């Protein structure tokens, strides 16, 4: 190539630079040929080629000197920079070493004054890290088919080294690919650091340095004699550093070309999933490239690196996984597009979430940092939160601060970013983090508050969090109910209902003023067209709060001073029951009245108002309502009213269509006992037992067979389990007992005989696990036994003189007399049977009643004692009865009952029996009673503290035992 030796003007400066560019390309090609060995490797030919290359470089340097300074257009130091580059190129020299490798020496006539005495070695030039890109190569086909490159792309060569390569070759194979990169020039290096310059600046001496290095050198070299150039030793008159724009641009362009090549090579290494060391090296290099400038990230994206990195998250080597996480974080930093692409198409979010719990701390931290970067994009926040278990894990990490403070901090930042999505807030609340929901409920916009209130009404809160939520959420929710729009009010009602369903929150809600608001909603507020029935919702919340057991009488409901238990409030509640049609509202109104009925003052007012109004008819009519819950509520309120107006309720009940039989016969087809069945039987059992009207109504509706059938099924194996079985059984038995209270009615007497009530109660006395059933059975036997005295009659055989003529012969008289002699009951002195005269002796019920005296329930013991007392009545043969009872050890059982239990009722019955034993039992009974050591102490206690009847009986027994002086006292009877 020939260059003209003439002065160049400003107009042809561009042609000089273009020629320079062609010369550089030719020089690069020569260097590459020498390195690849494509040129003949004889020493003479290499020397010839190198001479030619040296001549080209020097001509290029001379070309630079011909560019006039006016060409730089005011850039005063540009000429100095170009001149420095020209001097270096003019001093270039190439020679062949022993290995026939190409080496370069700098023929700088100036020696560095600070390097005197050093060996005159050539400066070793660091090769590029990677080969040139395919696009920059001068021969694409040849580079792609290069043996080293082909071997590098083979997966087998990466997984298993070749025999002639050492075991460490896999880790250095990536570096070996740099042999074909665009070469470096000595000009790129800073004379001080021997590193490629980032910001080249030129001194007054014309030598170029890296700005940072020369700045530090000048600061350290400050002395009184002046400042000298570290390379030339020339004294510097100025410290001004001017950027070498041309060199800086050249270095930047060189770096950009090589970075593209490095990206492509790294992509190849990641694509074939090379050895861990090679993959790790490629990732680290990509990290350096991405950190240099933002545009490099775009190049990495365009090169298709992202999918490869995402696959590496499951790589077996944890160092590779950690590096992949770091690089993904770097690529997504300040780039929302990359985040969207990553999370929507490539990144397996469950894997990243799982890596947050890794036992390897670096991986755990890197995963959190990546997720933190992704969570900054609003479009991805809901997608991150939708990963199953992701928010739960973040919450757990957040509260794991003592073990890993860094992870806790980053998890907290991620959760705060995810709060922008209302759906994520809901998931946080469901997983135990309620603060975001409560914060947005209190401080958010009206739309956000409405949405948070809806969530609060849907999620299930644990008992340990209910109180905290009530304290934080009640004020804003009550404000929303009082002044919000329709949607806001609906959501607030729903949330408050959820909070009010937890009884411990009652005091908090009452303190917040909710009772006044709810009463106002029920009595005075009128808003039509709302999607909710605010009256029903308000009544439900008020019922939930009152059921917690607050002091009802002192709760103020309005500004006029009315209390919750005042006549005004109670009257409104009862009137609403009479006129309201929604079933839900009626249910909650009845619940409120049940709560208020616990107060004696309120109960008196409720009874008075129900009697005077038609509310009693309304309540009884609700028993036929198909809404089961409403029917149950009405029955419960009627049960509470029975002690005050039982006969009125019976009258209303018997006048209502389908009643009272539907309370027994209206059973579902399944074998499961429902709550309505249980409360219905209890209701019938608690109505006045002596009500002949109700008893006849039940009899005529043929309910007794159904009752007995149900009792047999429960006592058998058909129905044994369920929370309502025992209450239902107790109610059925109590209904049977009510029939025994009206045996004076022939229909009732026939009923008891027809179904053999004595045997039924005797069986129930022992074959049950319910104390109440035993008590009721004993009462039923007592009622039947009292009637035995009237029913047991000795057979009357009328004998007349006329009939004696017709007596049978003597040989037949013995036979006929046996037929006429019927067995007589020793107690009742007549013909008895368990079915016809209800005799306890014939029914074998005495032993079972005495066994109940050992029961731990005092009510069962008292009922059994009452039944036994019927066998010692004055109208029976007391001596025979006492003798029979002594034979079955009745005395000892009665004495044991007195020791175990206390109470007026039991004392009266026990002392009465003991007195009968002492009077009618003779010396044997007296001896057994007197030998009891604890009885006198019990008698003395009763004598001092019992009522008048108990004291009289205790005194009489003590006199029999010679524990008191004998003097006349008033007669008493049981």
- The enclosing domain of 273 has a CATH number of 1.25.10.10
3-class secondary structure for 82-149? Answer: HHHHHHHHHCEEEEECCCCCEEEEECCCCCCHHHCCCCCCCCCCCCCCCCCCCCCCCCHHHHHCCHHH
Q: According to the model, what pLDDT value does residue 462 have? A: 65
287 alpha-carbon distance from chain centroid:
41
Q: Identify whether 419 is part of a domain.
A: yes
**Among 232, 212, 262, which Cα is nearest to 109's?**
232
Q: Are both 307 and 374 inside the same structural domain?
A: no
HSE, CB side, 13 Å, CA atoms: give it for residue 692: 8
pLDDT of residue 150: 34
* Number of helical H runs and strand E runs in the chain: 50, 7
CA distance 744 to 34: 134
Residue written as token pair 């039944």: 867
What is residue 510's predicted lDDT score, i.e. its pLDDT?
A: 82
326 shares its domain with 391: no
CATH of residue 211 = 3.30.40.10
Query: What is the model's pLDDT at position 156?
Result: 28
- Asked if residues 773 and 729 have their Cβ atoms less than 8 Å apart, the reply is yes
CA distance 481 to 5: 96
Residues 882 and 961 in one domain: yes
Q: Does residue 962 sit within a domain?
A: yes
DSSP strands (E only) in 155-284: 200-202, 208-210, 227-228, 235-236, 242-243
The reply to whether 195 falls in a domain is yes
List the alpha helices (DSSP H) in 792-921: 801-804, 810-820, 846-851, 858-869, 878-887, 890-900, 904-920
In a domain, 857, yes or no: no
User: What does the alpha-carbon distance between residue 234 and residue 476 come to, in Å, rounded to a whole number?
Assistant: 79
Residue where a domain terminates, one of 47, 69, 91: 91
Report the pLDDT value the prediction gives residue 860, as an integer from 0 to 100: 92
Cα 819 from Cα 823, distance rounded (Å): 10
Domain boundary among 325, 347, 369: 347
Grouping H, G, I as helix, E, B as strand and the rest as coil, residue 198 is coil
Strand pairing category for 102-106 and 208-210: unpaired
412 shares a domain with 373? yes
Does 748 fall in a domain? no
If you write DSSP's letter for every residue of 13-31 in order, what string do you get? HHHHHHHHHHHHHHHHHHH
- For CA atoms 510, 512, 514, 520, the dihedral sign is positive
- How many angstroms separate the CA atoms of 289 and 293, rounded? 7
pLDDT of residue 402: 77
Residues 889 and 953 in one domain: yes
State the pLDDT at residue 29: 62
pLDDT in tens, 628-670: 899 999 999 999 999 999 999 999 999 988 888 888 887 655 5
Same domain, 69 and 51: yes
The confidence score (pLDDT) of residue 73 equals 42
Residue with tokens 């985040």: 339
CA 205: distance to chain centroid? 75
Residue listed under structure tokens 């045997």: 759
Distances (CA, A) of 501 to 335, 504, 525, 548, 621: 48, 9, 23, 9, 29
Query: What does the pLDDT read at residue 861?
Result: 92
- The DSSP annotation for 555-614 comes to -B-STT--BTTSHHHHHHHHHHHHH---HHHHHHHHHHHHHHTTSHHHHHHHHHHHHHSS
Token output for 728: 């239902």
Cis peptide before 660 (omega within 30 of 0): yes
Sequence-separated (6 or more) residues with CB below 8 Å from residue 786: 870, 873
Structure tokens that stand for 763 in this block: 């069986």
pLDDT at 819: 43
DSSP-based three-state secondary structure for 393 = helix
Give me 276's structure tokens.
Answer: 């861990």
Statement to judge: residues 302 and 232 lie in one domain: no
Tell me, yes or no, whether 76 and 34 share the same domain: yes
Whole-angstrom distance, CA of residue 299 vs CA of residue 320: 22
- The DSSP code sequence of 308-327 is HHHHGGG-S-HHHHHHHHHH
Give the pLDDT of residue 7. 39
Mean pLDDT by 10 residues, the chain (974 residues): 38 52 58 54 56 60 53 42 47 46 38 36 33 33 34 32 34 47 75 90 90 88 77 85 88 82 81 80 85 80 81 86 87 71 67 86 90 85 86 89 85 91 88 88 87 85 75 86 80 85 82 82 65 74 83 69 79 83 86 88 88 85 89 93 92 89 74 87 92 92 91 74 86 94 92 93 86 93 90 64 46 44 74 87 89 90 91 84 85 86 83 84 77 80 81 82 65 44
Q: How many CB atoms lie within 10 A of CB 288?
A: 12
Residue 908 lies in a domain: yes
Q: How many domains does the chain have?
A: 5
What gap in Å lies between CA 155 and CA 152, rounded to an integer?
8
Whether residue 958 sits in one domain with residue 884: yes
Residues 953 and 896 in one domain: yes
Give the position of tokens 């008159």: 237
CA distance 469 to 931: 67
Q: Is residue 929 part of a domain?
A: yes
Residues 19, 72: one domain?
A: yes
User: What count of other Cβ atoms lies within 10 Å of the Cβ of residue 587?
Assistant: 22
Distance CA 174, CA 182 (A): 16
Cα 969 to chain centroid distance, Å, stands at 75
Q: Which domain holds residue 283?
A: 262-347
**Could you tell me if residue 17 is inside a domain?**
yes
- Pick the last residue of a domain from 91, 109, 126: 91
- Burial classification of residue 444, based on how many CB atoms lie within 10 Å of its CB (0-12 exposed, 13-18 middle, 19 or more buried): middle
CA nearest to 391, candidates 365, 363, 364, 421: 421
Q: What is the pLDDT of residue 9?
A: 43
Partnered with residue 748 across adjacent β-strands are none
| Alpha-carbon span 263 to 174, nearest angstrom | 12
Closest CA to 30 of 42, 18, 39, 21: 39
Using CA atoms, how far apart are residues 551 and 563, in angstroms rounded to an integer? Answer: 11
The verdict on 67 and 84 lying in the same domain is yes
Both tokens of residue 153?
């792309």
pLDDT tens for each residue of 217-268: 888 876 667 788 888 888 888 888 899 888 888 888 888 787 788 888 888 8
Cα 202 → chain centroid = 68
Handedness of CA 101, 107, 113, 119 (dihedral sign): positive
Beta strands 235-236; 227-228: pairing state: antiparallel
Look up residue 196 and give its DSSP letter: B
């Amino acid at each position: 190539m020939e260059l003209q030796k003439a002065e160049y003007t400003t107009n042809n400066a561009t042609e000089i630079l273009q020629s320079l560019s062609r010369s550089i390309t030719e020089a690069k090609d020569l260097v590459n040929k020498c390195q690849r060995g494509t040129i003949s490797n004889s020493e003479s030919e290499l020397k010839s080629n190198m001479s030619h290359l040296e001549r080209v470089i020097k001509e290029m340097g001379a070309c630079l000197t011909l560019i006039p300074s006016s060409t730089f257009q005011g850039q005063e130091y540009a000429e100095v920079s170009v001149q420095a580059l020209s001097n270096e190129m003019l001093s270039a020299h190439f020679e062949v070493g022993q290995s026939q490798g190409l080496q370069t020496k700098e023929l700088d006539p100036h020696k560095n004054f600070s390097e005197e005495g050093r060996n005159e070695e050539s400066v070793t030039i660091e090769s590029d890290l990677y080969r040139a890109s395919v696009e920059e190569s001068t021969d694409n086909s040849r580079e792609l088919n290069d043996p080293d490159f082909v071997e590098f792309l083979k997966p087998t060569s990466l997984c298993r080294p070749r025999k002639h390569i050492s075991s460490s070759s896999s880790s250095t194979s990536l570096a070996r690919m740099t042999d074909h990169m665009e070469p470096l020039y000595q000009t790129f290096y800073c004379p001080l650091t021997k590193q490629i310059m980032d910001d080249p600046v030129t001194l007054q001496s014309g030598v170029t340095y890296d700005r940072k290095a020369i700045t530090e050198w000048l600061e350290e070299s400050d002395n009184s004699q002046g400042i000298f150039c570290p390379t030339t030793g020339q004294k510097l008159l100025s410290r001004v550093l001017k950027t070498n724009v041309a060199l800086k641009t050249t270095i930047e362009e060189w770096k950009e070309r090589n970075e593209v090549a490095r990206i492509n090579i790294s992509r190849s290494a990641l694509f074939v999933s090379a050895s861990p060391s090679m993959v790790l090296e490629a990732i680290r290099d990509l990290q350096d490239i991405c950190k240099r400038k933002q545009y490099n990230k775009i190049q990495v994206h365009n090169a298709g690196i992202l999918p490869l990195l995402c696959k590496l998250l499951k790589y077996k080597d944890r160092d590779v996984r950690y590096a992949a996480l770091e690089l993904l974080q770097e690529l997504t930093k300040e780039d929302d597009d990359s985040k969207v692409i990553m999370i929507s198409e490539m990144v397996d979010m469950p894997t990243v979430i799982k890596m947050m719990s890794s036992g390897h701390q670096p991986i755990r931290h890197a995963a959190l940092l990546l997720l933190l970067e992704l969570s900054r994009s609003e479009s991805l926040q809901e997608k991150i939160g939708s990963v199953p278990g992701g928010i739960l894990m973040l919450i757990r990490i957040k509260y794991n601060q003592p073990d890993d403070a860094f992870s806790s901090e980053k998890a907290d930042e991620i959760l705060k970013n995810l709060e922008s999505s209302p759906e994520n807030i809901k998931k946080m609340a469901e997983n135990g983090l309620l603060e975001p929901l409560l914060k947005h409920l209190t401080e958010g916009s009206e739309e956000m508050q409405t949405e948070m209130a809806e969530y609060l009404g849907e999620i299930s809160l644990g008992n340990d969090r209910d109180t905290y939520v009530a304290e934080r959420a009640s004020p804003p929710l009550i404000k929303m109910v009082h002044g919000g729009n329709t949607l806001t009010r609906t959501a607030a009602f729903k949330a408050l209902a959820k909070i009010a369903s937890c009884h411990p929150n009652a005091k908090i809600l009452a303190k917040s003023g909710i009772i006044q608001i709810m009463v106002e909603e029920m009595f005075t507020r009128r808003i039509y067209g709302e999607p909710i029935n605010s009256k029903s919702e308000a009544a439900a919340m008020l019922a939930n709060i009152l059921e917690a057991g607050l002091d009802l009488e002192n709760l103020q409901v309005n500004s006029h001073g009315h209390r919750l238990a005042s006549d005004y409030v109670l009257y409104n509640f009862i009137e609403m029951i009479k006129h309201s049609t929604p079933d839900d509202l009626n249910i909650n109104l009845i619940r409120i009245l049940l709560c208020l009925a616990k107060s004696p003052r309120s109960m008196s007012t409720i009874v008075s108002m129900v009697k005077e109004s038609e509310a009693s008819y309304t309540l009884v009519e609700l028993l036929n309502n198909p809404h089961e819950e409403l029917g149950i509520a009405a029955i419960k309120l009627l049960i509470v009213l029975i002690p005050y107006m039982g006969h009125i309720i019976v009258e209303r009940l018997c006048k209502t269509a389908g009643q009272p039989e539907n309370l027994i016969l209206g059973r579902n087809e399944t074998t499961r006992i429902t709550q309505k069945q249980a409360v219905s039987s209890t209701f019938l059992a608690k109505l006045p037992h002596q009500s002949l009207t109700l008893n006849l109504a039940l009899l005529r509706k043929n309910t007794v067979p159904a009752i007995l059938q149900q009792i047999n099924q429960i006592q058998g194996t058909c129905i044994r389990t369920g929370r309502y079985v025992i209450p239902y059984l107790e109610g059925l038995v109590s209904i049977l007992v009510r029939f025994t209270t009206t045996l004076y009615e022939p229909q009732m007497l026939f009923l008891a005989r027809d179904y053999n009530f004595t045997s039924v109660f005797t069986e129930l006395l022992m074959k049950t696990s319910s104390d109440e059933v035993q008590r009721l059975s004993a009462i039923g036997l007592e009622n039947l036994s009292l009637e035995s005295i009237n029913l047991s009659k000795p057979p009357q055989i009328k004998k007349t003189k006329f009939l004696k003529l017709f007596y049978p012969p003597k040989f037949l008289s013995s036979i006929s007399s046996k037929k006429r002699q019927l067995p007589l009951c020793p107690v009742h002195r007549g013909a008895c049977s368990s079915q016809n005269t209800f005799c306890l002796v014939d029914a074998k019920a005495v032993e079972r009643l005495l066994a109940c005296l050992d029961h731990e329930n005092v009510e069962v013991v008292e009922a059994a004692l009452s039944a036994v007392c019927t066998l010692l009545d004055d109208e029976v043969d007391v001596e025979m009865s006492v003798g029979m009872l002594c034979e079955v050890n009745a005395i000892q059982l009665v004495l044991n009952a007195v020791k175990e239990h206390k109470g007026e009722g039991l004392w009266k019955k026990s002392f009465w029996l003991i007195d009968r034993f002492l009077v009618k039992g003779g010396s044997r009974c007296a001896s057994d009673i007197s030998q009891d050591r604890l009885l006198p102490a019990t008698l003395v206690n009763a004598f001092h503290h019992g009522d008048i009847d108990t004291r009289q009986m205790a005194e009489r027994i003590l006199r029999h035992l010679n524990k008191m002086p004998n003097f006349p006292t008033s007669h008493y009877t049981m």
